Structure formats: structure tokens, C-alpha cells
Structure 1
């Protein structure tokens, strides 16, 4: 299969807005290449182990790359994106209306392998690390939970901030014997973490058949597949699992969290906990308001 890479060079102030715009218009994935990464050296206390290559980074600003299937619909999609860029400039005063979008054809097999050069072990916390299957790694302490991952084409390497936040939240709230539902499991990383943290049963759902396959492979590689059930389903509404869980985790976009909100209580115990992430700052209050309407209370870990 071939993909079309849409490449935009923009400012630090506008890059998240443009990336979100691409996702809204159906991009299967985005990559951010930030010029500030050239001078970045991780401190000993951060969650980064090792330093990735930086030769590909721009000298200024941020390069946003979005990937669309080469299925004949791109022309209409880009037309809609350009119209929204004009509207975005009008509402945010960011100079994006005349942004140039460069197109490149990418073969799936090239894309699937090239990113591995930039995926290094990630220290989530003092007691949890994520390690690519092709990297060697030695435990820093005896009680460390090491999650080995090969996300393939599925979302969830553990390096994204929203994934890290979910992992850190799960560390605080998962108790031995808990049941967990992972909505939009992607690579299965949150389900695997929950199982390693003591959950007795995890039910993971994702609409993408490729993600389901990858999640199953990763759960087997981490020796937790007997506690994780993975289904190709449309979020919670079509799930065959009617058992109420102690924890529901959903690392999704804001509009998906909002759509899920009315249905979550049907799958969550009365004293259960909901973990949501993947929400941009501009959507934070909207998500909070919707969850409060559904009688959820905010908590801090």
C-alpha cells in the first residue's frame, strides 16, 4: 500500500493546531520534527533514556508530517484543509493561511521500518520502562516493570506525552485484582501496563484491525496475554463485554472522549475510575464540562 506524506514547515506556536487539523481531516498519523530537539540533552531525572538522531530536524520552527492513504481522495481533503487554514488564521492570528503543503509518496514497508531508528527505551517512572523489542536493556532495579514493545503501524510507542501520562496514572490507581477496560488500545501498551501492575483482567478494544493484531502480539511478547482480551470493536458502544470495570482508560481525541462520556458508567463500577488523555488545551474545559455532566469528579494522582 502507498501513502501520501503531507509536509508543512510552520512555527512553534502553530504546529499543534496544524497537526490537529490534519487529524480532524482523517490523517492516519502525524509526525512532529521540532528544531528545538537539536539542542536537547535529556537530564538524568527525565523519562528519556538515550538520545535519538537529530540530523533530520529543521533549523527553525517545526515540520509537521501527516499521512493519508493514496486512495484518490487526497485532492478533496487538501482543499478542505486549506480552507480550514484560512479560518484558523482568522480565529488565532497565526500566519497559516498561505502555508505550503508538500507531498511525497511513501511505501508502507519503508514507513514501517524507518522510524525504528528514533525509538529508544523510555523511562516512564522509577519503576516502569518501555523498551523496543530490538533494543537491549538492563533493569535499573529488581522491581522495575519492563514493557517490551513493537508498535508496528499502531499508535502507542510510549514516547507520546499522553501515553506517558496514562501510564503514570495507571501506576497510581491499578490495584491487584482490578479489572480494566482500555478503549482505543492501539499497540496495547496501556493494557499491558495494567496487567503488569496487577490487574487480573483487561478488556481492550480498537476499531483498527491492524492495532488489534499488534496489541495481541505485544501482549504475548510481554507474557500477559492470558489476562488481556482484545477485540475489534467501535469503542464502548458495541463492546461484547458487559462486566463493569474498576478502571476505564481512554487515550483518545477530545471529540471521542465526549462521544463516549454518556456510555462510560454502563461499563464502570460505582466507585470506579476513568482515565482520559489525548486532549489538547483548547478542548480541556469542554471535556471537563461534559464529564461533570455525567457525574464524574476530577481527581489528582
Structure 2
């Protein structure tokens, strides 16, 4: 089987609306590349790029979707973006990201390890001698490589709570699970019952596959469903903690469903700086409470919200 691959380079500040476009187009998959040595160098570029590189995968016949992507780039970044398209085989599509995906640490304890390197002696020597906690991940086409600021912010916060002895959650729900990386992190820190969901069927498959690559204490329970935030299991069952790494646009459109989640504490990410105050106002209106913790990285925020 063949796919249409688009290599897109655009300003980081356009990532959020661009991802919303890709979600609305229901692409076969997409992922962000942390570093791409082959990407064209930007004018006056320093060590850290202001632009981001994204790979997008469409069915070969989905020319109209490619045109909508190109129109977005022409409208919002006519002088600071570029793209190229090619037809690739399924094998290339599934293996493409592996070139860029290597083991890396998050916080004091966590190590994100690609599943295809989990038995490599050099990889094991990175985390095992220092008592590190490995998260074995094969993201595939699901969001959640661990490289994105929003994913790192949540995992770093969970890691800090664990290190400070403030991690006392036994049940949790992961809304918009993606690759399942955040759920796996929760389980590694001792959460014994987790319910995850995502509207993307590829994410559900990736999350379940990644769960099988990791080890957990006996009696651990995990379930994942293809579903939106209106899933009755979020309101009918109690959770000590909820996590939601979802964009402001999706969260704000589903604020009433969000308010029905039966959890006293919710950790949000996926919120950009310009939407932070608007989102906090929404929370105070629909989920009254207080902000326990917040941190910003590259204009992305993690917000730890305690409900009244």
C-alpha cells in the first residue's frame, strides 16, 4: 500500500492551529520531528530553530487535503514555510520516524525508550544503573513521542510529584491518550487503574500496543477506547486524577463534558500562552477550583487544577 507523505516546515507559533487543521482533515497520521538535519536552514538561524518540521501522511488519492494544507501555509506563512510531497510505500511510512527517535530522559527518573531499542545493552545502561524508570514507546502515527513540550511538561510534573512524595493517586483517566505515553508514566509511578480514550483509532491501537511493551505491578488494570470527552465512563466512574493533553480549541468546545469528569484534580497541557487566561476563566466558570501548579515552556503551559 502507498501513502502520500508531506514534509512541512512552518513557524512554531502556527503549530496549534495547524494541528487543528490536520485533525479536522482526519489524516492517516502526522508527527513532529525534534531535529532534522536535512531541513533547509532558515535565515539568521541560531542553534535552536524558530520553525518546526512536521511529517504528514495521506492516502494517495487525497489531493484535496494536500491542497488545503498548502492553502493554510500560503495564507498564514507565505514567506516562512515550505513543503514537499512524495509517494511512499507502507514500510517507509511505518519506519520513517525511527531515524529521529532515540532514547532521552525526562525529569529526574523517567527515560523514554523506543521499543525497538529496549533490549540494547547501550540503551539499558542509560537508565538501569541510576534507578531510572523506562517508558517503552513506539508512537507510530499517534501523538506522543515525548518530544513535544506539552508531553514533557506533564511527565516532568508527575516526576516531581513522585520525587516529593506527593504522588498518591491510585486511579486515573487519560483524555486524548495518543500513544499512551502519559498513561504509562502514571502506571510507572503507581497508579493501579487507568482508563484512556482518544478519538483517533490509530492512537487507540498505538496506546494498547505500547501498554504491552511495558511491565506493571500485579493486579494493574488498563483499558482504552476510541471515544470523545462525552464518554459516560468519565462521569460514571470516580478517578483520583485526570490528565488531558489537548488543545484549547478542543477543550473549550467540550467544556461542559469536561466538567462532568468525575475527578477532583485535572492536569491540563496543550494550552498556549495567549489562551491561558481564557482557559483559566473557563475552568473557574465550569469547574470552580484553584490552580495548584503551572509552568511554561516555549509558550506551552501545564496547569494542575484542583476542583472545589
TM-score, with length taken from structure 2: 0.75
1:267 aligned to 2:261?
yes
Moved more, 172-181 or 274-283: 172-181
Q: CA deviation at 1:280?
A: 3.0
Q: Which runs of 5+ in 2 are unaligned?
A: 44-50, 118-122, 295-308
The separation in 1 between residues aligned to 2:111 and 2:69, in whole angstroms, is 41
Q: CA deviation at 1:256?
A: 1.4
Q: CA deviation at 1:128?
A: 1.4
Counterpart of 2:220? Answer: 227
Counterpart of 2:237? Answer: 243
1:69 aligned to 2:58?
yes
Q: Which has the higher strand share?
A: 2
> How big is each residue's C-alpha offset from its partner over 1:133-156, in whole Å with a ceiling of 9 and x where there is no partner?
222222265542211112222221
Change in Cα spacing, 1:252 to 1:107, as seen in structure 2 (3 Å) is farther
1:129 aligned to 2:121?
no
Q: What is the root-mean-square deviation of aligned Cα atoms in Å?
A: 3.1
Match of 1:55, SS?
A: coil
What are the within-5 Å matches in structure 2 for residues 1-301 of structure 1?
A: 1-10=1-10, 12=11, 16=15, 19-20=18-19, 22-23=21-22, 25-26=24-25, 27=27, 28-32=29-33, 55-60=37-42, 62=51, 64-70=53-59, 72-75=61-64, 78-79=67-68, 82=71, 85-86=74-75, 88=76, 96=78, 101-135=83-117, 136-138=123-125, 139=127, 142-173=130-161, 175-224=167-216, 227-240=220-233, 242-269=236-263, 272-294=264-286, 295-300=288-293
Match of 1:105, SS?
A: strand
Provide the aligned length of Structure 1 versus Structure 2: 272
The separation in 2 between residues aligned to 1:98 and 1:187, in whole angstroms, is 30
> How big is each residue's C-alpha offset from its partner over 1:62-107, in whole Å with a ceiling of 9 and x where there is no partner?
4644524226443266247526843x3xxxxxx5279664322233
